[in-house]
Chains A and B, each alone.
Chain A
Amino acid sequence: MPHLHDNKIEKLEEKANMIRESIIEMLVEAGSGHTAGPLGMADVFAAFYFHILKHDPKNSSWPERDRLVMSNGHICPVLYATMAHAGYFPLDELKTLRKFGSRLQGHPHREYMPWLENSSGPLGLGLAQAVGMALGLRVDGKESSGQYVYAFLSDGEQECGLTWEAAMLAGKNKLHNLIALIDRNNIQIDGFTEDVMPLEPLADKWRAFNWHVLEIDGHDFEEIVSAVEEAKAIFEKPTVIILHNIPGKGVSFAEKHFEWHGKPPNKEEGKIALDELRTLGGKIISEHQ
């Protein structure tokens, strides 16, 4: 993974913006789905699929690939949009999200999309599967082969007991080939996480489970890439990267509002959102205007 140069950062920003536009278009067309989480994770997904991750869209079962386990399946619009932009399937297909007969299920299903590492949706299941993959690679003596297992978790699912069962197992086994990332956007369906079920001090909890903990701005590409590099340099422990994210990032009316956790924009809101994204918040003139 090369270091980031300014022009690479610009390219990643462009990708993230295209992913956000696709997310809005998909959700308007679908008429249901989650908005805030996907927008908030667009930068991280762009950084992974266009810089960090060892993967090959044309050979998705490549045995030496990194494994990306998405635990919080409800933010799949960002996964689908990113994978389509990366070349896993045609961009046109994004508008079939949540429709009958579509491969783009409301929550991801690997039976229809074999390039996904796991089906997901029910919360709290991802970290344990990622731990299993990291342990399975260790059985073959591959834990230091440069092949990594990434677990993408939400903050809401830090409330699930299984997340901590898996954290304990990873800590016990010092799984340094496992890197977890938490989308710490502070919202869940019923409100702000600290009102629904306080998670803080979150970093201390992970440290207590024998993990190396990093906290970064999840919208800063340099920080994202540096954090993953640091995680790979830690051989004594698994690493968790707490991503301080803005839910709804990039679309001003959706930013930081938990009401946008589980609903899509309507057509009018979609147009406003797309105008905002295409003009980078009014900084440039869009050809669509």
Chain B
Amino acid sequence: MINESQKLNPKLFDTDVEKVPIRNGFGEGLLQAGVEDERVVGLCADLTESTKMLAFAEKFPKRYIEIGVAEQNLAATASGVAAVGKIPFLSSYAVFSPGRNWEQIRTTICYNNRNVKIVGSHAGVSVGPDGGSHQALEDIAIMRALPRMRVVVPADSIEARKVTLAAAKNDGPIYIRLAREKTPVVTTVDSPFEFGKANLLWNSEKPQVGIIACGPLVYNSLVAAKSLEAEGIQVLVLNLHTIKPLDIDAVVAVAKKAGRVVTCEEHQVVGGMGSAVAEVFAQNYPVPMEFIGVKDQFGQSGKPEELIEHYGMGVKSIMEAVKRVVSR
């Protein structure tokens, strides 16, 4: 059942649940962060509108730097901006940043320990018709491998706003992963959010499986949990928005209570959030696991929902993975 303490959207399971692009929350959060702290600076590589930096750029033109189509320069310039005491947020599509500019992020931001926030939008296959070239499925893996980098994947636009405001106040490099498509709003402004603390959204008396999810698949996981409950299978759903540093206590608690785990992410299974969770379990509390995610392949053009289904990340696939892990 819904964990009441999380104050989730009461219309969560309605057919007309409100849907908002997760990236919108970043745009609102950045604007607010800019009002609260004049050190906040925005940098973008020719994608101001679609990465939702436009409102900030219009309100604070002196604090906005247009870089053009040059993502390596986006990262290295932001490092220099941070070096003189600013709090730069840089945004692009995740395929290009942190995809194209990984080494610039490694050397000029992480190795230098600069206070830079990297915002990768349009992550996952749900980018849709743009096709596989534009669907970042490796960004969590390449970011979480970097020392000092912290990695956050908000589940909806409201959480993305909170993440953005928290990032402005947390010194050091942070990667924020956003999705393009309209995503059901799971949380509310009153939902608790703490950087680095996972949230248990769905609780059960005697859970057989713990579902650990991040990003837009948190919604799919909750819908799956409700349907599974109707079939007599009790689960837990943990929103693991912060993948690094990983909330070890929260994920181990899920494993201890449920004994089996399914991870759900719109990312390659190789190196992603599920891998990070598996590293924790292997060292602390080994349990059988199934991994929902893209299986070592590239995406393609299509409608977001049909791509999510095709690559095995829909509600049905999550329910099947739960049943598979129960039978092991």
Contact = CB atoms under 8 A, between A and B. Distances in A.
Contacts of A109: 111
Given A139-B62, A162-B72, A169-B73, A133 B107 contact: no
Contacts of B236: none
Contacts of A122: 103, 107
B80 interface: yes
A130 B73 CA distance: 11
Contact of B79 (A67, A121, A132): A132
A131 interface: yes
Contact of A129 (B65, B79, B86): B79
Where chain B touches its partner, the secondary structure class is: helix
A136 B83 contact: yes
Interface of A: 67, 69, 109-111, 117-122, 125, 128-137, 139-140, 161-162, 165-166, 168-169
B80 A139 contact: no
A125 B76 contact: yes
B146 interface: no
A136 B86 contact: yes
B316 interface: no
Contacts of B73: 128, 131, 162, 165-166, 169
26 contacts: A111-B111, A117-B83, A118-B83, A118-B108, A119-B107, A120-B107, A125-B107, A125-B108, A128-B72, A128-B73, A131-B77, A132-B76, A132-B77, A132-B78, A132-B81, A132-B84, A134-B80, A136-B41, A136-B83, A139-B62, A140-B84, A161-B72, A165-B70, A165-B73, A166-B77, A168-B70
Nearest to A138: B62
A129 B82 CA distance: 9
Nearest to A110: B112
Query: Which interface residue of B76, B85, B108 has the most chain A CB atoms within 10 A?
Result: B76
Contact of A169 (B41, B70, B85, B88): B70
Interface residues of B, number: 28
B84 A133 contact: yes
B288 interface: no
A67 B83 CA distance: 10
A133 B68 contact: no
Contacts of B85: 136
